[in-house]
Amino acid sequence: MRTSVAIIGCGPAGLLLAHLLHCEGIDCVVLEARSRDYVEARIRAGVLEQTTVDLLRRVDVDRRLDAEGLVHHGFSILVDGEPLRIDLADLVGRTITIYGQTELTRDLIEAALARGIPILFEANAVALHDIASRAPAVTCRAGDEDVRIDCDFIAGCDGFHGASRSAFPADQLRTFEKVYPFGWLGILADVPPCKEEVIYASHERGFALASMRSKTRSRYYIQVPADEPLANWPDERLWDELEIRLGPRAGSRISRGPALEKSVAPLRSFVAEPMRHGRLFLAGDAAHVVPPTGAKGLNLAASDVAFLADAFARHYRRDDDAALESYAARALARVWKAVRFSWWLTGLTHRFPGTASIDRRIQLAELDYIRSSRAAQMSLAENYAGLPL
């Protein structure tokens, strides 16, 4: 098999890249280790920056997004139950859209198949070859066949545990990591949200988040120790704790229901530099992971592939490789700003074990400063709504 760009990974990053390339008339093949059913059932994030929404409109995969997505003009931070609303539309003229990554992935797969973009599901034993040469290739086992894809470029969009990053020579890759001493215990339930906008709660007992996937499906999280057994949190205990941390105003509006999904997710920051070696380019979680606090993971993946698609288009349309050469630097500049923001917002809203009482007072002072300063609110809103591409 021969193609221009072999894309490894059928998550939002790989799929969006495939659509962007299709719009430019650049052929590609997408490889995915899991089945279609598995990929479409994965429960992930749900906050889209305006730049991500604009990219979905650009590739004409926005019909269900427009019909079912919830446009939010702001969000709130509760400080021991007292609300501090950040008006994104007023402060920076932008909004966010709530639309589950599960639904987005389904839309992108359906549109890809309709457009004839090849996707090889259950492609196992993926291996990358000759990535530093002008003739790289990818091999895998798909069904009962051994498949070889010769290509001009490889886009590694296969996540933190995928094959792409491990294909880098060890002496050509530098990694940075911060592991947080807590995780998020999340519950997904078919109940209406307690508020029409996302709520971050900074509480004496720990962080909490009230979010949603639709007007009838809610997503809640609480901060727990990183090694917390899920068995310690039956549904009723979790609902009780959410009511406490969200305070009487928001907590009293919680509708309880059985969990559709419940899990503990660790929090960490991870960045791999550079995001390119030879003809292999990394994008999304293959290159970087951020805590979910700032809602940046999916949106960073979208900006990565926007840069990458532009670079490929310049290569094929203008015989101009300047954007390919600068891809890693351009993407990493945005990545590190998102890492910084996610670290800052996590530190502002979470309780760290073993810290002194003075640390809580400093948190409260900073939150009070944000409440009283429009400039501070603008900085928060600018980063949360998403920095420009």
Q: Where are the domains of the chain?
A: 5-73+94-176+268-345, 180-267+355-385
CATH C-level class of 180-267+355-385: alpha beta
292 is catalytic: yes
99 is catalytic: no
220 is catalytic: no
Give tens-digit pLDDT for 59-70.
Answer: 999 999 999 999
Which one of the listed residues 288, 296, 315, 350 is annotated catalytic? 296
Give tens-digit pLDDT for 282-336.
Answer: 999 999 999 999 999 999 999 999 999 999 999 999 999 999 999 999 999 999 9
Give tens-digit pLDDT for 154-196.
Answer: 999 999 999 999 999 999 999 999 999 999 999 999 999 999 9
23-56 in b/e form (b: 16+ CB < 10 A) is eeebbbbbbbbbebeebbeeeebbbbbbbbbebb
Q: Can you tell me the distance from the alpha carbon of 126 to that of 140, in angstroms, rounded to the nearest whole number?
A: 4
* The predicted structure's pLDDT at residue 44: 77
* The predicted structure's pLDDT at residue 350: 96
Give tens-digit pLDDT for 254-271.
Answer: 999 999 999 999 999 999
Q: Can you tell me the distance from the alpha carbon of 220 to that of 211, in angstroms, rounded to the nearest whole number?
A: 6
Q: How far is C-alpha 62 from the chain's CA centre?
A: 18
Task: Please tell me what DSSP assigns to residue 252.
Answer: T
Which one of the listed residues 12, 19, 22, 72 is annotated catalytic? 72
Residue 205: pLDDT over 90: yes
Which one of the listed residues 288, 292, 315, 327 is annotated catalytic? 292
Which one of the listed residues 99, 200, 220, 221 is annotated catalytic? 200
Q: Looking at domain 5-73+94-176+268-345, what is its CATH homologous superfamily?
A: FAD/NAD(P)-binding domain (3.50.50.60)
Lowest-confidence pick of 39-48, 57-66, 219-228: 39-48
3-state helix, strand, coil split of the chain in percent (to 5) is 40, 30, 30
72 is catalytic: yes
Q: Can you say whether residue 95 is alpha, beta or left, with left for phi > 0 and alpha for psi between -120 and 50 degrees?
A: beta
> Are 5-73+94-176+268-345 and 180-267+355-385 equal in CATH topology?
no
Element (H, E) at 31: strand 28-31
Global pTM reads 0.95
Q: In the structure encoding, which two tokens stand for residue 237, read together?
A: 């205990």
Q: Using an 8 Å Cβ cutoff, are 163 and 7 in contact?
A: no
Residue 52: pLDDT over 90: yes
Give tens-digit pLDDT for 340-389.
Answer: 999 999 999 999 988 778 988 999 999 999 999 999 999 999 999 999 88
Residue 43: pLDDT over 80: no
Q: In the structure encoding, which two tokens stand for residue 11, read together?
A: 């998550």
Q: Can you tell me the distance from the alpha carbon of 327 to that of 334, in angstroms, rounded to the nearest whole number?
A: 11
Q: What is the mean pLDDT of the chain?
A: 96
288 is catalytic: no
| Cis amide bond preceding 258, omega within 30 | no
Q: In the structure encoding, which two tokens stand for residue 18, read together?
A: 């495939």
